[in-house]
Each structure stands twice: as C-alpha cells, then as structure tokens.
Amino acid sequence: MEVLGEAVARERAGHRVIHMEVGQPGAPAPSPVIAAAHQALGGPLGYTESLGIRPLREAIAAHYRRTYGVDLAPDRVAITAGSSGAFTLAFLAAFAPGARVALPTPGYPAYRNLLGALGLEAVEIECGADTRWALTPEMIARAHAERPLDGILVASPANPTGTMYTPAALDALVRAADDLGIWFISDEIYHGLVHNGVQATALASSDRAIVVNSFSKYYCMTGWRIGWMVMPEVLAKPIDRLAQNLTLSNNEISQRAALAAFDAASTVELEAVRAGYAENRALLIEALPRLGFTDLLPIDGAFYAYASCARFSNDSLDFVRRMLVEAGVAATPGADFDAARGNAYVRFSFAGTRADCAEAIERIGQWLR
C-alpha cells in the first residue's frame, strides 16, 4: 500500500505509472451487476439480516452445488465485508486469545497481522520449491508436535505465489487438521482464476472446514466490499452474534448487486476477463526470466508472478521504489510476504490490460539494461 501511495503521488505529479502492485482486477464489475445496483437504488435500503440477505446466501449455496458438487445449507453461509470481514469473524469465533494458527510463508501478510491484532499467534512455516511452496500434513504434524496448534490457514490459489493444492493434497491437509482436532480455514478467494490444475474446495473434504471467498477477484468487485464465508454449523450462532455487534449488517446495494454475479451473462464477461489474465500470464512467464528475474514461482492460479530480483538487489523495497521512479512500473516488495527471504523477491500483479503488461515489460527491460 505504501508503493501504491507513492505511485498515486507520481501520477498526480503528471507521470505515467503502470500499476502491478495491487491485486485488483482492472476490469469493471459485470454489466448485470451494475444494472442490479442501479435497480436497488430505486427502492428502500436499510439494515439486512446480519448474515446477509437470504437470496444471496441461497445463490452461494447453489454455486457450491453447481461448481463443486457440494450440498450446502444456506444457513451455513455468511455474507461479509469482503474476505477481510470474513477472516475477522472466523478468527474471533474459532479461537480463544493466545491460540496458535499455522500458515505457510511466503503468504498474504494480512493473515498474520490480523491474527496478531486479535491476540492470536501466527505460526509461520517456511515453504519452498520442494513442496511447491505449500504446506503438507507432515509439516503440520511436526509443528503440532513441537507445540500444539489450534488451526491451519491456507490459500489455494495462493497470494503471492500463485500455487494451487491439487484436490488430493488439499484433502490430505484438511483431513490432517480434522485428525488433530484443529480448525482448517481455506482462503478460496482466487477460485475461478485457474490457469494450470483443478481447483477444489475444502468443503468437499470436511463439514468442519471454514471457507472464505469474495466477489473481489474473479467477480471484479473489489470496491463493492462484499464477500462470504461458509461456516460449520457449530460456529453459525457465534458468528451471527459477532456480526450483529461488529457490523450490524452489510451494504444492501452490494448484496443485491452480487446476486447478478452468478447470471450467465456475467459469467460470459468474467470468463473473457480471465482469458485476458491468461494472456498476461504467458507474457510474464516468457519475459521475466529473460529480463533476469530468476526463480519464478508456479503461477497455477490468481494473477500474480512472484519472482526473484536477487540478480539486481538484496533489498526488494528499495528495488521496487527505484523501479517506480526510474521505470514508471509499480510492483510489490517480497518482504511483505516473507520476512526471512522476501528481500530477494518481487510480486507483479498481471490483473491489468495486456497493453499495460506489455508496456511494463518493455519499460523494465530498458531500465535494467
């Protein structure tokens, strides 16, 4: 976000900046979503049920039946203020102060920051190429034996690595958590944005899994701040009570608009956007190693390329700041995602247009010569 702030300041000063620092779709929400929002503006708007309007919860349950073959009661769905709101509710409902939650590193920094803010301990487990940058049941067993864990949190596809768990690998991890009697939280916010492999939901393996998703990424609705969580029945009441006190209810316009995200017309538009990401991915997979960014991690899904900048710098924050000023390209320093090794890495988001992606490659190439 600091890089974004500096990029915006340069734009205000008249400089052109290509934004590859923030994980935000460059495309707008699908036209049926926008039309539904306009329609909602014509009627009364007020508080909704704390866990969300019933039609949207039913639509999400239908989405799981249609997409994953998982039967899901709408009462287990909570509508939240993006995935961020879902994580807050999940952590508060599932864990007591001092609880220990394992997560892979590199990984999304807000996980550990939120856990710390709530008096919980983030147990970061270093992952590497030998496990395709993902946790394994053996890693969890070792960490739990050293000092008991209370939960596991993983993302598939992951930010920043783009790594996906195979259905079998995800199933093994979920079952390991169940065997240990600890909570499994699955961040599935990048589902739908799959380039290599098969996406699977943790709900296919256990009714105890807590699944977080959002309309921000695949559905191109970041600014609408609308997401969801699928919760085990035992947590439904606690989460409802927490939601009543923390937010009372979510934005009604966004909830009613999100219903249209599941329309066939929306899917056509969204699949065209996803195809654009695939083209950008192909550009970066070819260009980044050629430019000297070695050790490019798997980009199974999402819209990030996480690559080593060690050939040029051992301080990724300084590197991206110089790249912003001297090349006009904004990217994210790896230290955000991995305190131990991230100074050698940079994350590029390729959620923008193909033209911007191609121009960024050209600018970086000229800058590094």
Say if residue 194 is in the same domain as residue 295: no
What is the CATH number for 187? 3.40.640.10
Mean pLDDT in residue range 109-138: 97
Q: Print the domain residue range for 354.
A: 2-20+266-368
Q: How many other C-beta atoms lie within 10 A of the C-beta of residue 347?
A: 26
Mean pLDDT in residue range 72-99: 97
Sequence-distant (6+) residues with CB within 8 A of 29 are 219, 220, 221, 224, 257, 261
In this prediction, residue 1 has a pLDDT band, given cuts at 50, 70 and 90, of confident
Mean pLDDT in residue range 264-276: 97
196-250 per-position pLDDT tens digit: 999 999 999 999 999 999 999 999 999 999 999 999 999 999 999 999 999 999 9
Tokens of residue 293, six digits: 């960014």
Say if residue 346 is in the same domain as residue 210: no
Residue 3's pLDDT is: 87
Report yes or no on 37 lying in a domain.
Answer: no
In this prediction, residue 103 has a pLDDT band, given cuts at 50, 70 and 90, of very high
311-336 per-position pLDDT tens digit: 999 999 999 999 999 999 999 999 98
Report yes or no on 189 lying in a domain.
Answer: yes
Sequence-distant (6+) residues with CB within 8 A of 270 are 30, 192, 218, 219, 220, 261
**Distance of alpha carbon 31 from the chain centroid:** 23
Report yes or no on 29 lying in a domain.
Answer: no
Number of domains making up the chain: 2
Say if residue 77 is in the same domain as residue 108: yes
Among residues 233, 260, 287, the one where a domain terminates is 260
pLDDT at position 159 over 90: yes
Mean pLDDT in residue range 107-114: 96
Report yes or no on 31 lying in a domain.
Answer: no
Say if residue 8 is in the same domain as residue 81: no
Say if residue 165 is in the same domain as residue 135: yes
Say if residue 150 is in the same domain as residue 255: yes
Say if residue 160 is in the same domain as residue 186: yes
Percentage above 70 pLDDT, the chain = 100
Among residues 260, 284, 304, the one where a domain terminates is 260
7-37 per-position pLDDT tens digit: 999 999 999 999 999 889 999 999 999 999 9
Say if residue 239 is in the same domain as residue 335: no
pLDDT at position 287 over 90: yes
Residue 318's pLDDT is: 95
Say if residue 215 is in the same domain as residue 183: yes
Among residues 217, 245, 260, the one where a domain terminates is 260
Report yes or no on 217 lying in a domain.
Answer: yes
What is the CATH number for 315? 3.90.1150.10
Mean pLDDT in residue range 178-199: 97
pLDDT at position 294 over 90: no
Say if residue 332 is in the same domain as residue 244: no
pLDDT at position 279 over 90: yes
Torsion on CA atoms 112, 64, 262, 169, rounded to nearest 10: 50
Whole-number mean pLDDT of the chain? 96
Say if residue 214 is in the same domain as residue 233: yes
Residue 4's pLDDT is: 86
In this prediction, residue 138 has a pLDDT band, given cuts at 50, 70 and 90, of very high
Mean pLDDT in residue range 247-261: 96
pLDDT at position 179 over 90: yes
Say if residue 206 is in the same domain as residue 295: no
Report yes or no on 66 lying in a domain.
Answer: yes
Percentage above 90 pLDDT, the chain = 96
pLDDT at position 39 over 90: yes
Report yes or no on 32 lying in a domain.
Answer: no
Report yes or no on 63 lying in a domain.
Answer: yes
